[in-house]
């Protein structure tokens, strides 16, 4: 029998980490994870059934995701050589840190932003350099670049739109960062379908630019599919550290079917964008709320009440949203993912009930 002090065997950097916990509470209405709240439309489910019938589950996946890359390449008007597929874009963030950073080196990003940049960095023994966003959750390129260059950041991550604030940063300032940063600029466009803005067209002009996208926000969160668009030299380096079968056959094939039959999905996204704008209008009617603009499929708002109590009251009535108040800049801030019209109605009604 062995009874070692297991924690002593764990790397100190890992000991110091706090796991990224997503509330997985079994609420009837889940508006906490920025997923597409609509299930796949019937036309798509039919496509999926065909895939299930024809997939050889006893065989390994295509390690190069060749067919999916062809489909994506056509859609994005890039070459398949510009693409890397990840097990979610989270995995690509981790791989990029492996490719570009040695332990002790620095990665940078505005603050507040997507928590995984710093969590993954910390787990790999990297330092994080943040640059505070202003009160509109925006930044100016010059001071941002100064912060990045002074800390010798190897990569600057820009979430565009930014999670959790919801806005796209000023395009002019982002452009200046892309043009002037001496390291790698990752434009994380996980919410691109809700924003209609992108820096993809800048790719041929700037070989240090990497665009990240995700299928999680448009209906396939369960399949874990994200992709990077970048210079083929970068893609080759990603392929050196990527595990050979990081994307399952079902993930590859179902994603391809979804992308090749996108019209019903686009209808869902259009409906969510309309609902987002309605959600902003409706939440703004609460006098004690400050609602922030959003280009994404979620809305951030600050409440005068105790956000923790509000969050719990909603949860107890079966509605799960995200309480962000542990972040010093996000005191009493809540984030709600845009749901189906019925879910949004239930959320707003419950909110009215609680606030009265
Ligand atoms: C800005 C941003 N980037 C990346 C991700 C990760 O997405 P994926 O599900 O593709 O790993 C998220 C998920 O919430 C996100 O908000």
| 99 in contact with ligand 1, CB cutoff 6 A | no
Residues of the chain with CATH 3.40.640.10: 59-260
Q: Is the peptide bond before 164 cis (omega within 30 degrees of 0)?
A: yes
Per residue in 16-44, pLDDT (tens digit) is: 887 776 666 788 999 999 999 999 999 99
Mean pLDDT (the chain, rounded): 96
Give, for ligand 1, the residue of 21, 34, 89 to mutate: max count of ligand atoms closer than 8 Å to Cβ.
89
Structure tokens at 280: 């902003």
- The beta strands (E) that lie in 220-332 are given as 226-229, 289-291, 298-303, 319-320, 322-323
Give, in degrees to the nearest 5, the angle at Cα 119 between 313 and 135. Answer: 65
- Measured between alpha carbons, how far is residue 344 from residues 37, 219, 275, 309, 336 in Å? 10, 18, 8, 20, 9
CA of 276 to the centre of ligand 1 (A): 19
pLDDT in the model for residue 35:
97
What is the CATH code of the structural domain delimited by 8-41+264-355? 3.90.1150.10
pTM: 0.96
CATH architecture, domain 59-260: 3-Layer(aba) Sandwich (3.40)
Cβ atoms of 248 and 225 within 8 Å: the answer is no
Per residue in 270-300, pLDDT (tens digit) is: 999 999 999 999 999 999 999 999 999 999 9
Q: Is the pLDDT of residue 170 over 80?
A: yes
Residues forming beta bridges with residue 50, ordered by sequence position: none
Percent of the chain with pLDDT over 70: 99
| pLDDT band at residue 316 under the 50/70/90 scheme | very high
Per residue in 230-275, pLDDT (tens digit) is: 999 999 999 999 999 999 999 999 999 999 999 999 999 999 999 9
Cβ atoms of 89 and 159 within 8 Å: the answer is no
Tell me the mean pLDDT in the region 164-187: 98
CA of 90 to the centre of ligand 1 (A): 6
Tell me the mean pLDDT in the region 328-349: 97
CA of 218 to the centre of ligand 1 (A): 11
Per residue in 44-58, pLDDT (tens digit) is: 999 999 999 999 999
Which atom belonging to ligand 1 lies closest to the Cα atom of 162? 1
Tell me the mean pLDDT in the region 189-200: 97
| pLDDT band at residue 344 under the 50/70/90 scheme | very high
Cβ atoms of 145 and 158 within 8 Å: the answer is no
Q: Which of 17-26, 149-158, 174-183 has the lowest mean pLDDT?
A: 17-26
pLDDT in the model for residue 14:
84
CA–CA separation, 212 vs 43, rounded Å?
28
| 35 in contact with ligand 1, CB cutoff 6 A | no
Backbone angles phi, psi at 75, to 5 degrees: -65, -35
Distance of CA 281 to the CA centre of its chain: 24
Tell me the mean pLDDT in the region 170-180: 98
Nearest to 27 by CA among 280, 313, 326: 313
Strand order in the sheet with 184-188: 83-86, 226-229, 209-214, 184-188, 155-159, 106-111, 127-132
Q: Which of 22 and 13 is assigned the larger pLDDT?
A: 13
The secondary structure element, H or E, covering residue 83 is strand 83-86
pLDDT in the model for residue 23:
64
Cβ atoms of 129 and 148 within 8 Å: the answer is yes
Per residue in 118-134, pLDDT (tens digit) is: 999 998 999 999 999 99
pLDDT in the model for residue 22:
66
Cβ atoms of 69 and 232 within 8 Å: the answer is no
Residues of the chain with CATH 3.90.1150.10: 8-41+264-355
């Amino acid at each position: 029998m062995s009874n070692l002090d297991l924690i002593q065997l764990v790397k100190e950097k890992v000991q110091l980490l706090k796991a990224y916990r997503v509330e997985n509470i079994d609420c009837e209405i889940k508006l906490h994870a920025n997923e597409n709240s609509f299930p796949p439309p019937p036309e798509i489910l039919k496509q999926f059934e065909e895939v299930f019938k024809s997939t050889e589950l006893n065989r390994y996946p295509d390690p190069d995701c060749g067919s999916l890359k062809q489909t994506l390449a056509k859609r994005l008007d890039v070459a398949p050589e510009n693409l890397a597929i990840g097990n979610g874009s989270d995995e690509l963030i981790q791989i990029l840190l492996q490719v570009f950073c040695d332990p002790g080196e620095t990665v940078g990003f505005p603050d507040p932003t997507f928590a995984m940049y710093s969590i993954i960095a910390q787990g790999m023994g990297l330092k994080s350099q943040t640059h505070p966003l202003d009160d509109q959750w925006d930044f100016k390129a010059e001071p941002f670049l100064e912060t990045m260059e002074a800390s010798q950041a190897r990569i600057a991550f820009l979430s565009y739109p930014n999670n959790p604030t919801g806005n796209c940063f000023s395009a002019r300032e982002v452009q200046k960062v892309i043009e002037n940063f001496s390291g790698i600029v990752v434009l994380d466009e996980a919410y691109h379908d809700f924003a209609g803005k992108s820096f993809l067209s800048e790719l041929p002009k700037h070989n240090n630019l990497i665009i990240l996208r995700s299928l999680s926000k448009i209906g396939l969160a369960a399949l874990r599919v994200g992709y990077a668009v970048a210079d083929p030299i970068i893609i080759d380096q990603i392929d050196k550290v990527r595990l050979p079968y990081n994307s399952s056959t079902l993930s590859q094939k179902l994603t391809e079917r979804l992308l090749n039959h996108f019209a019903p999905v686009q209808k869902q996204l259009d409906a969510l964008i309309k609902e987002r704008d309605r959600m902003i209008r409706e939440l703004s009617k609460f006098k004690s709320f400050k609602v922030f603009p959003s280009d994404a499929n979620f809305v951030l708002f600050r409440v005068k009440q105790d956000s923790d109590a509000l969050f719990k009251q909603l949860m107890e009535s079966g509605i799960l949203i995200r309480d962000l108040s542990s972040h010093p800049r996000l005191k009493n801030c809540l984030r709600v993912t845009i749901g189906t019209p019925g879910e949004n109605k239930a959320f707003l009604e419950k909110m009215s009930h609680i606030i009265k």
